[in-house]
């Protein structure tokens, strides 16, 4: 079984779209766990719940805590961490199964934005290859549960860079991974509320500071100053 874990914070509209899409896709041999943040507005949890989905209200801070909580509740042997504002390709579960059957322990997807912006199309091209920004949460990490546990799960002290920190441990421990070149569709809302240059320069700065050991709470504070968002949790 595959367990799809969706961390969510005030994402009612996106969740309704994503869960409806998954329902229409007639996913089989999979469970869906929506891990709501502790601070999610109660009204935001009023989302129609398909039969295959479970809703979990987390009692801790941060997306890393949400994803770990979802993993704790998961029954599947493969964990898929999918953001609420990301739509996977119709064949993504088959794609994951094919990769695992080839002996990989983990992987990511390439993606494109829900925008016709030429600059964002250029950005998306880099997600199909291993590089400086590989491992970001929008790429939908999937990983065998025993490997996830062996690596120590997500670091709950990391508030903004939990995905990149986990990917560093994957590489350190030589986890065999690949990038599936079958695009997810990622929301461009962060760029709409800021600008292309602002988001890209901010992301570059945050990754560099993270790699040089900048403290997690300072990264969170800096993120809040650099990026304007209509939501609370960074994504």
Whichever domain contains 104, its CATH number is 3.90.550.10
Residue 7 lies in a domain: yes
Residue 193 lies in a domain: yes
The sheet that has 142-144: what strands, in order across it? Answer: 53-57, 30-36, 2-8, 78-81, 142-144, 106-113, 177-186, 86-87
The upper half-sphere exposure of residue 55, i.e. CA atoms within 13 Å in the direction of its Cβ, equals 20
Residue 207 lies in a domain: yes
What is the per-residue pLDDT for 39? 85
Find the domain containing 73 and state its range: 2-226
- Read off the pTM: 0.91
Counts for the chain of helices (H) and strands (E), in that order: 9, 8
Q: State how many domains the chain has.
A: 1
Least confident interval from 52-56, 57-61, 96-100: 57-61
Tens digits of residue pLDDT in 129-168: 998 778 887 999 999 999 999 999 999 999 889 999 999 9
Query: Are residues 134 and 208 in contact, defined by beta-carbon separation less than 8 angstroms?
Result: no
Residue 233 lies in a domain: no
Residue 231 lies in a domain: no
The pair of three-digit structure tokens given for residue 79, joined into one six-digit string: 């964990």
Residue 38 lies in a domain: yes
Query: Are residues 96 and 149 in contact, defined by beta-carbon separation less than 8 angstroms?
Result: no
Residue 101 lies in a domain: yes
Residue 42 lies in a domain: yes
């Amino acid at each position: 079984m595959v367990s799809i874990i969706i961390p969510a914070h005030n994402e009612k509209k996106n969740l309704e779209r994503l869960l409806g899409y998954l329902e229409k896709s007639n996913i089989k041999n999979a469970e869906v766990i929506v891990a709501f943040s502790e601070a999610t507005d109660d009204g935001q949890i009023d989302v129609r719940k398909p039969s295959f989905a479970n809703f979990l209200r987390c009692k801790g801070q941060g997306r890393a805590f949400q994803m770990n909580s979802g993993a704790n509740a998961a029954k599947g042997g493969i964990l898929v961490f999918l953001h609420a504002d990301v739509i996977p390709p119709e064949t993504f579960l088959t794609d994951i199964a094919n990769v695992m059957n080839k002996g990989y322990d983990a992987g990511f997807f390439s993606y494109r934005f829900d925008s016709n912006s030429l600059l964002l199309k250029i950005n998306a091209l880099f997600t199909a290859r291993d590089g400086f920004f590989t491992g970001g949460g929008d790429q939908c990490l999937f990983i065998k549960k025993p490997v996830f546990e062996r690596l120590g799960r997500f670091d709950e002290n990391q508030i903004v860079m939990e995905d990149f920190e986990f990917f560093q441990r994957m590489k350190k421990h030589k986890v065999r991974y690949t990038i599936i070149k079958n695009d997810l569709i990622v929301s461009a809302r962060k760029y709409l509320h800021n600008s292309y240059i602002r988001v890209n320069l901010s992301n570059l700065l945050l990754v560099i500071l993270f790699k040089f050991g900048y403290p997690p709470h300072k990264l969170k504070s800096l993120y809040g100053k650099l990026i304007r968002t209509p939501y609370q949790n960074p994504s």
